[in-house]
Amino acid sequence: MKVLVTGATGAIGSALVRALRAAHCEVVAASRAPADPAGLPVDLAAVPSRQWWAQQLQGVQVVVNAAGIIRESAGQSFDAVHTRGPQELFHGCVAAGVRHVIQISALGADEGAASAFHRSKKAADDLLRGLPVASTIVQPSLVYGPGVASAALFDSLATLPWLMLPRGGASAVQPVRLEDVVQGLVKLVTQPAAGQRTLAFVGPEPLTLREYLGQLRERQGISTRQRIFSLPDGLALWGARLLEWWPRTPMTREAVGMLLRGNAASATGFAQLLGHAPQPPGRGQGPGEARAHRHAAMLALWLPPMRLAVALLWIWTGLVSLGLYPEHASLALLAGVGLTGVLAWWSLYVAAVLDLALGVAVFFTRGQARRWVWLAQLATMLGYTAILSLRAPEWWLHPFGPLSKNLPFALLIGLLWAFEPPLRHNRR
């Protein structure tokens, strides 16, 4: 059986591609940057035409649309990726004679949809239901598994001893394991299909968000109870608006709005498809696995604000040297290390611009590129420290520790360098 999977480098798509190949299906992995040379490069945000899709789908029996975004960005809108792109794909499926189309939508993409995320999914779902092709619209709840942005977020939140949540974490959720989602999709692909149907892919039972976080804490081996305080809805939405300035954060106003609405459904149809009840995502682990899981979640939570803090410190240092601190006082400090006249002036402003650039660069690089930024920061700090140690060693004995503080700061930058992920060329 030949199957085309869009979004093949995403968390669900990549896991599905592996499972289908293990089930001896011929898989065409379609994504913006395919992970293997045999993949099909395509960007739904560019809305390829139905005619183009009809040509690519020759000989394909089943199509699974797993492409999606959790937040909009430049060049990627909900309208393009969730609505117009899939609609053209579905029309192409009809023209090419595809036997079965599986659309991975979202729980909540229904008549009560309020968020742009849900409305964009629903628009594609509605068109598919009206086309002359067998189709299954899969509506997952919160998916829990490796590579899933929301799962990583909730894992991180579960590590905190205190937390403020909208409505005190009383919103209904029904998290489903990624393994169960993939197993269900493989069964849909390999079984005969007819007509149109919609299936909720959900966990065994609804939980409050507070209970879900408690399960995740247990999974991480945390025995203490998490204190959760209620956050007014308006304040939660305002906070999410601020967080949207941070690139790639899954905590957006859309996400908060969907959480406030609730996210639960009957698991009966999904259990019938699987042949067994779906398993809860917070299953226990051995002590070693739980500890490793907890450490990974804590790093995911604290690395971004640590990067931000280091970047802002370099930026602040540059701004202070550029004029917030009196120039004559800065030049007097430089005179103490033997720099005077024009040389001191140039040293002051070159160093200030360098500090400012090293801070700003953190926001515009990532992966291997940002590793070089951390190394440049370490080299610059080492240079400053060496010069002061040679020309003004008394700064080591200063009660405010202007030089001794460089030691833990250097270790922090080294930690950020060590945990910097490699550049990701393969994205869905």
Average pLDDT over every residue of 59-82: 92
Q: How confident is the model at residue 96 (pLDDT cuts 50, 70, 90)?
A: very high
For residue 228, how many C-alpha atoms fall within 13 Å in the half-sphere facing its CB?
21
> For residues 376 and 366, what is the distance between their CA atoms, to the nearest angstrom?
14
Domain boundary, last residue among 227, 256, 284: 284
pLDDT at 121 over 70: yes
In this structure, are 99 and 244 located in the same domain? yes
> Whole domain around residue 384: which residue ranges?
302-418
pTM greater than the 0.85 cutoff: no
pLDDT tens string 31-44: 998 878 889 999 99
Give pLDDT, residue 340.
92
Q: Regarding predicted confidence, which is higher, 87 or 71?
A: 87
Co-location of 276 and 308 in the same domain: no
Query: Does residue 251 share a domain with residue 387?
Result: no
**Predicted local distance difference test score (pLDDT) of residue 211:** 93
Residue 358 domain-assigned (yes or no): yes
In this prediction, residue 427 carries a pLDDT of 40
Q: What is the mean pLDDT of residues 346-371?
A: 94
For strand 40-41 and strand 162-166, is the pairing parallel, antiparallel, or unpaired?
unpaired
| CA–CA dist 236, 252 (Å, integer) | 10
**DSSP3 helix / strand / coil % (the chain, rounded to 5):** 55, 15, 30
For range 135-151, the mean pLDDT: 92
Q: What is the pLDDT of residue 292?
A: 85
pLDDT in tens, 279-325: 988 665 667 778 888 888 898 889 989 999 999 999 999 999 998 99
**Pairing mode of beta strands 207-208, 172-173:** antiparallel
Mean pLDDT (the chain) is: 91
Are residues 101 and 181 part of one domain? Answer: yes
Co-location of 77 and 216 in the same domain? yes
Residue 208 lies in a domain: yes
The confidence band for 184, taking pLDDT boundaries of 50, 70 and 90, is very high
Considering its fold, how many domains does the chain have in total?
2
Q: pLDDT tens across 364-422, in order?
A: 998 889 999 999 999 999 999 999 999 999 999 999 999 999 999 999 999 999 988 77
For residue 425, name the pLDDT band (cuts at 50, 70, 90).
very low
Does pLDDT of 252 surpass 80?
A: no
Average pLDDT over residues 235-262: 76
- Model pLDDT for residues 329-344, shown as the tens digit of each residue: 999 989 988 899 999 9
Report the C-alpha dihedral over residues 204, 21, 147, 140, rounded to 10 degrees: -30
In whole angstroms, what is the distance from residue 270 CA to residue 323 CA? 64
